Amino acid sequence: MGRLIFIFYIFTNLLFSDFEASCVKCHTKENVSLRQTYMSALLVYGGEKSFKTALFYYCKNPASMTSVMDEWFLAEHKTPNPIKLSDSELKKMLDRYWKRYEVTKKLK
């Protein structure tokens, strides 16, 4: 039983370490809240599918015109470089991002 828990712990850390290295590290460096970004995108895109699709394309081709952040925020922060993850890796990261901050389940 202890071995199973250990394997689960390692697997979980590996999954979230990718997210931490790919997303959290940069957002922290730029002092940009992932939760604030999530909530802003959720207000604009509404549902999970449109949210993930829009963020996928933004991460691949970031531009201030397609950002969900306010003008004052964009004036203080530079537009990020395109993400260097493969399409499948980015989709996994967006799935983790959605699950981490998902509010719809908490509203029920």
3-state SS of the chain is: CHHHHHHHHHHHHHHHHHHHHHHHHHHHHCCCCHHHHHHHHHHHHCCHHHHHHHHHHHHHCCCHHHCCCCHHHHHHCCCCCCCCCCHHHHHHHHHHHHHHHCCHHHHC
Choice between 1 and 101, residue whose per-residue pLDDT is larger: 101
Domain that holds residue 90: 2-107
Q: What is the pLDDT of residues 54-76, one digit of tens each?
A: 989 988 998 888 888 778 877 88
Overall number of domains in the chain: 1
Amino acid at 1: M
Report the share of the chain in percent with pLDDT over 90: 12
